[in-house]
Amino acid sequence: MSTTGYAYASISNIVRREAFVMAFNDCFYLIGIALLLSGLAVLFFKKVKATGSAVAH
């Protein structure tokens, strides 16, 4: 392999690694937004009042 081939392979590896990091970052933000929206949705849930006495085992 020539020097140019090694350079292209090196650049290809760097680009691939950076693409993986960017994809991980995007997934991290997506999960964070989903968690935030879930937390906000919990605030709108109705509270259930316990009626009667349940038998515990």
Place of tokens 């709108």: 44
**Tokens, residue 29:** 């933000």
Domain ranges of the chain: 1-41
Residue 56: band (very low, low, confident or very high) from pLDDT cuts 50, 70, 90: low
Please tell me the predicted confidence (pLDDT) of residue 50: 74
Residue in this structure with the two tokens 């020539």, named with its chain if needed: 2
Quote the distance between the C-alpha of residue 5 and its chain's center.
36
What's this model's pTM, rounded to 2 decimal places?
0.64
pLDDT in the model for residue 51: 77
Question: What pLDDT does 8 receive?
Answer: 96
3-55 pLDDT, tens digit each: 999 999 999 999 999 999 999 999 999 999 999 999 999 999 888 887 766 66
20, with CB counted inside 10 A (0-12, 13-18, 19+), is: exposed
Overall size of the chain counted in residues: 57
